[in-house]
Amino acid sequence: MREIVFDTETTGLDPLNGDRLVEIGCIELVNRMPTGATFHAYFNPQRDMPAQAEAVHGLSARFLADKPLFASQADALLEFIGDSHMVAHNARFDFGFLNAELERCGKAIVDLARMIDTVAIARALHPGAKHSLDALCTRYGIDRSHRVKHGALLDAELLAQLYVELTGGRQIGLTLVADQGETVAASTAVVAAVARPVRPARLFSPSEGELQRHQAFIAKIDNALWLEGETAP
């Protein structure tokens, strides 16, 4: 099963209000294992870079000025992601910007049915806890010491490690036969697993013969503690 873990950096929070995609990083997983194949690109947003956004990812308008437009890289990006399911942290944000850019250059958008959101998985597994990428990396012991600022490819690499942990850890790669027909439901089955119904305890009734043998056995015990304080008939 092939999946793409990806992250984006932007000029702001709302693609419908003029904010643009400025960086995307994608990691290819096959059967939850990184293959080493990646896609990474910076884009000229053709607008200014708000100070708040630059403080997060460190990408200035000057740095991006000579980078290609998204439209010139759209075909290469679409070829890389193919028809695979796509994993992102707070995925609707990333899908919103990706699809806004695709629409802007006349390309077909990515179907939201392909979306796997690691925030939703984390919320199901750890209700009430912090679900930021930093917090979850700390919880699962994923080294992020080299992460000074947000970066799309770096964050995608961290997220790929986190996604594997959230969906079963490295042991999932030890199965002898991979199920190539696995669907996205299996990718996020851990969400349903936390709501798995509790089965009632099974009752075992001793037979009449077992009860008689038990009574005969305890009758042989001298000074039994459970008989202290009782008066013999």
| Confidence (pLDDT) at 165 | 96
Write down the pLDDT at residue 194. 44
Query: Between residues 58 and 201, which one has the greater pLDDT?
Result: 58
Q: Indicate the domain borders of the chain.
A: 2-193
pLDDT above 60 for 122 = yes
Q: Which residues are catalytic?
A: 150
List CB contacts of 69: < 8 A, sequence separation 6 or more.
43, 44, 46
67 secondary structure, DSSP code? S
Averaged pLDDT of the chain: 86
For 135-173, write each residue's pLDDT tens digit.
999 999 999 877 767 789 999 999 999 999 999 876 544
Question: Left (φ > 0), alpha (ψ -120 to 50) or beta: where does 222 sit?
Answer: beta
The reported pLDDT for the residue numbered 203 is: 64
- Tens-digit pLDDT profile for residues 75-118: 999 999 999 999 999 999 999 999 999 999 999 999 999 999 99
pLDDT of residue 212: 87
In angstroms, the CA 178 to CA 29 distance is 14
d(CA 103, CA 110): 10
Sign of CA dihedral 9, 14, 15, 20: negative
Torsion of CA 168, 172, 178, 181, to 10 degrees: 10
Strands 115-117 and 33-42: unpaired
DSSP element (H, E) containing 7: strand 2-10
pLDDT of residue 178: 44
What is the model's pTM?
0.73
Q: Which residue has the tokens 């956004």?
A: 53
**Contact in structure between 193 and 186 (CB atoms under 8 Å):** no
Q: pLDDT by residue (tens digit) across 39-85?
A: 999 999 999 999 999 999 999 999 999 999 999 999 999 999 999 99
Whether residue 177 has pLDDT greater than 50:
no
Q: What is the mean pLDDT of residues 193-213?
A: 67
Identify the CATH homologous superfamily for domain 2-193. Ribonuclease H-like superfamily/Ribonuclease H (3.30.420.10)
